[in-house]
Amino acid sequence: MAYFTPFTLPGIIICAVVYTLIDFVLPYLRPSTLHRYLHSKDGKPAWALVTGASDGIGKALSFELASRGFNVVIHGRNPAKLERVQRELQAAHPNRSFRILIADATQCAPDTFKDIAHRLSDIHLTVLVNNAGGTPISSENLFKTMDEYSHKEIADTIALNATFPTMLWNALIPSLSRSTPALILVVGSLASSGLPLVAPYGSSKSYLRTLSEALAQEMIITKRDIEVLHVGLGTVTGVSGIWTPPSFFVPHATTMAREILGRVGCGRVDVVPYWPQALQIAGTVVLPRWVKGMVFRKVMVELRDKGLNPGEERKRE
């Protein structure tokens, strides 16, 4: 009579399947630990900085953080938009405080980051949300092959998605280190998987994901209680350039903001915060490389022909 044990071939396969399912589900079952970062120091309350907060996901994250007790610094490059968001935040959360930080994320001079660090030096900063990103290209001509981009378009895309957050971390980690426990939340894109026709954008997002992994390891080496969490987003509606009705795989920006904050403390450095989109990605993992490439090409060509956006939004200002 044959007995099932984990060490037989069927047993190994079953154990691998069970482990994969548990590993997939677990981050969505763990309660958020965002409250760890809502602490005061020397009588100063906790603040969060959200880059790219004038619209879309950044704006939604600002409202969510305020609703959970944080004062919020909202960053962008458009003063009029930021002032409007600040008024809306103050009206919705009269007991919270809000500040505006104006800086163009495509202009990455060293003095810019020294100035940002100086302007935030008087607050107890415990949460940094790197949300500013996207493609600084007109929506009428969003999808291009590499040789169709101008040098400025490539440079601005890399600055916005890679250089700006890198330099911002460099400037603000000393402040976060004095405010531990602290959180660095990095909003990435599923375009980092190598989608064609948005190569500079996707590649710079891939850099950001790798940098997040490295930074998380550095925090362990240096024994600093700073959590680093990279979240990969697919298409989101209710953002600049996308106003279609929400669907199972395309949530509204407000829903995505809640899901992002819900993954804090999930036990991973890199996670897809909205589980239906994680399911989509999991489906492509099992495909042969040539099939996955064929699917990516088909999807991106269809998006180009329909004039739709491949990521969370065209640009977060």
- Find the helix or strand (DSSP H, E) in which 235 lies: none
Residues 52 and 317: beta-carbon distance below 8 Å:
yes
Spell out the residues 6+ positions from residue 93 whose beta carbon is closer than 8 angstroms to its own. Answer: 63, 66, 67
> Distance (Å, rounded) from C-alpha 192 to C-alpha 206?
5
End-to-end CA distance of the chain: 67
Please give the Cα distance from 127 to 26 (Å, whole number).
24
CA geometry: angle 235, 239, 242, nearest 5 deg: 65
Cα 295 to chain centroid distance, Å, stands at: 24
Based on the residue annotation, tell me whether 19 is a catalytic residue of this protein. Answer: no
Alpha-carbon distance 7 to 80, whole Å?
Answer: 64
Catalytic residue among 37, 201, 207, 274: 201
User: How many C-beta atoms surround the C-beta of residue 8 within 10 A?
Assistant: 12
Catalytic residues: 201
